[in-house]
């Protein structure tokens, strides 16, 4: 969060590390540092929904990604009820990967399920070659990063639940 002291204009602006990192990930770092644009960001808990976005850049963090993967899951623990998987940057346009979704939906997440989902995504996506990598390279990235995105989505929720419980919050 950004803590600011305000009269008629911003006097000072302190940005915590989590906000600074978020701003850097969405390429707003210069706006935050120069003008304290983001005052607050709240994302409410979505019940059993979990999501993650991961990207791979071949240059600096500000570079256009070679691959982006977004996953949205409805899950209870490691059991996934439904899944949405989208690839971007490595394809002509953002593309939903239905075969990977089918592998995940109804499954209990383990290494074998994640490997099958990654393989399904790599087989389904029509990756393109460009200055950020060949189509074959991007398919291999996709295979790995679908697994990472699913794990991140599940782990983020576990960390959120753990933090709420340790703070004495009621569920």
What is the pLDDT at residue 22? 63
What is the pLDDT at residue 64? 87
What mean pLDDT value characterizes the chain? 79
The domain 49-162 having CATH identifier 3.30.390.50: the answer here is yes
More confident of the two residues 38 and 90: 90
For CATH 3.30.390.50, list the domain ranges present in the chain: 49-162
Among residues 139, 120, 117, the alpha carbon closest in space to that of 128 is found at 139
Give the SS3 label for residue 147. Answer: helix
* Residue 14 in this model has a pLDDT that exceeds 70: no
Identify whether the C-beta of residue 1 lies closer than 8 Å to the C-beta of residue 40.
Answer: yes
Query: How far from chain centre, in Å, is Cα 94?
Result: 14
More confident of the two residues 103 and 10: 103
Q: What is the pLDDT of residues 51-64, one digit of tens each?
A: 999 999 988 777 88
* Residue 100 in this model has a pLDDT that exceeds 60: yes
Q: How confident is the model at residue 94 (pLDDT cuts 50, 70, 90)?
A: very high
Q: What is the pLDDT of residues 108-150, one digit of tens each?
A: 999 999 999 999 999 999 999 999 999 999 999 999 999 999 9
- Kindly provide the residue ranges of all beta strands, DSSP E only, lying in the chain, ordered along the sequence: 2-6, 10-15, 49-56, 67-76, 79-88, 95-96
More confident of the two residues 165 and 171: 165
What is the pLDDT at residue 47? 82
More confident of the two residues 23 and 67: 67
CA distance 46 to 40: 19
């Amino acid at each position: 969060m950004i803590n600011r002291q305000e009269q008629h204009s911003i006097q000072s602006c302190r940005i915590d590390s989590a906000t600074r990192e978020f701003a850097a990930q969405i390429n707003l770092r210069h706006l935050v540092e120069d003008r304290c644009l983001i005052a607050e960001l709240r994302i409410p808990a979505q019940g059993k929904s979990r999501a993650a976005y991961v990207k791979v850049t071949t240059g600096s963090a500000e570079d256009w990604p070679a691959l982006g993967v977004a996953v949205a899951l409805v899950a209870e623990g490691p059991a996934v009820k439904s899944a949405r998987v989208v690839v971007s940057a490595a394809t002509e346009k953002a593309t939903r990967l239905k075969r990977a979704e089918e592998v995940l939906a109804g499954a209990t997440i383990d290494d074998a399920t994640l490997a099958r989902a990654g393989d399904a995504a790599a087989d389904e996506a029509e990756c393109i070659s460009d200055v950020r990598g060949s189509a074959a390279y991007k398919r291999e990235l996709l295979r790995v990063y679908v697994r990472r995105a699913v794990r991140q989505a599940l782990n983020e929720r576990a960390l959120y639940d753990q933090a709420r419980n340790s703070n004495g919050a009621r569920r």
